[in-house]
Amino acid sequence: MLNRSSARGRKVGEVLTPTAVAQLRAVGQVQLLTPGKHLPVVGGVSSWGRAGIVDREFSFDPRGTSWHLNRSIFDNDLLVAALTRGAKHHAGARFRRAQALMNGRGWKVEFDNLGEVTSSFVVDATGRASSFARHQGMRRRRHDRLIALTASAQLTSEFEFAIEAVASGWWYAAALLAGRAIVAYLTDADMIPAGSEPQRNFFHDKLDETTHIKSRVSVDPKVRTQTVAAQTEAIDAPIGSCWAAVGDAAASFDPLSSFGLTNALESGRLAGLAIDATLAGERGFIEAYGRHVRRRTEDSDILRSAYYGMEARWPRSPFWDRRRGWTSR
């Protein structure tokens, strides 16, 4: 594993759905989910398609428990698990270029601060950058311009998660451990101001316009907001000769679909199985993996259109008007 950066900045918390938990279980790592590190999700509240609020109960979900993750802890635990099983890790190795081997059975890859590495198969796990895939001429196709402004917060009432649609987008708040929470405002990139200070003021102005989110959390006016890409995108092709893209490098999804971590874990596991088969001379498995990624993207588009189609309270809102175009296709 060659990682571009060794820095560990603040990461936005995410929900691990029962489907994603099943992927952890499939690779023998479900024990990473412990209440002392992460928060089990029993239920939450939603204001979507109506002014009122609806309880969403998860405790009887036959698929199992959802979890609010501390991403920094979760990512580090996954890395430790991989190292324990024999993986090698190099931080600070920034991808520069790659050249196919003369025999067509792998790549010679050049990195800053590391030099050249020869590999029989390359996995592009560079997130939305899709660094290796772009080097092979692939393009990322953007479906929308969704962006998230996030901030850490203090809980002011007991809850697990809350979603609230507003005229210019939607809000999400999730409880974390020790009375903390993560709050995110999602809208289109052209609807937020440029610059950290204007964005922070904009975030607080929009938070004051909510009904259900602001009653559950308190955000310090001095806390910096973080801008996080949230648009739906997919690479032209997630596979090629002796390479495959996984996770966000292959496809990135609207947070409303909760596909993000599920896709990361599922695509990583399936790509690993397909790579094993490919190196054993069975090409069909990697082709099947490519079809799986494309189906996942199609499923996400259908689900995204259905969710946004449920909200019709703001017919003149640019944000919602753009999404009405999806549901009419």
Could you tell me if 263 and 253 are in contact, meaning their C-beta atoms sit under 8 angstroms apart? yes
Do strands 233-235 and 140-142 pair parallel, antiparallel, or not at all (unpaired)?
antiparallel
Give the pTM: 0.91
pLDDT of residue 56: 75
pLDDT of residue 177: 87
Do strands 43-47 and 161-166 pair parallel, antiparallel, or not at all (unpaired)?
parallel
Could you tell me the two tokens for 83? 């190292």
pLDDT of residue 64: 76
Could you tell me if 236 and 139 are in contact, meaning their C-beta atoms sit under 8 angstroms apart? yes
49: exposed, middle or buried (C-beta count within 10 Å: 0-12, 13-18, 19+)? middle
Q: Which residues, listed in sequence order, are joined to residue 203 by a DSSP beta bridge? A: none
CATH of 146-229, one of 3.30.70, 1.10.10, 3.40.50, 1.10.1740: 3.30.70
Q: What pLDDT tens digit does each residue of the chain (329 aa) get?
A: 998 875 544 566 688 989 999 999 999 999 999 998 999 988 889 999 999 989 876 555 567 788 999 888 999 999 999 999 999 999 989 999 999 999 999 999 999 988 999 999 999 999 999 999 999 999 999 999 999 999 999 999 888 899 999 999 999 999 988 899 999 999 999 999 999 999 999 999 999 999 999 999 999 999 999 999 999 999 999 999 999 999 999 999 999 988 889 999 999 999 999 999 999 999 899 999 999 999 999 999 999 999 999 999 999 999 999 998 765 44
- Domain positions in the chain: 121-139+240-309, 146-229
**3-state DSSP helix/strand/coil % of the chain, to nearest 5:** 35, 30, 35
CA-based nearest residue to 290, from 233, 215, 235, 220 = 235
pLDDT of residue 44: 87
Could you tell me if 268 and 125 are in contact, meaning their C-beta atoms sit under 8 angstroms apart? yes
Q: Can you tell me the distance from the alpha carbon of 24 to that of 30, in angstroms, rounded to the nearest whole number? A: 5
pLDDT of residue 60: 52
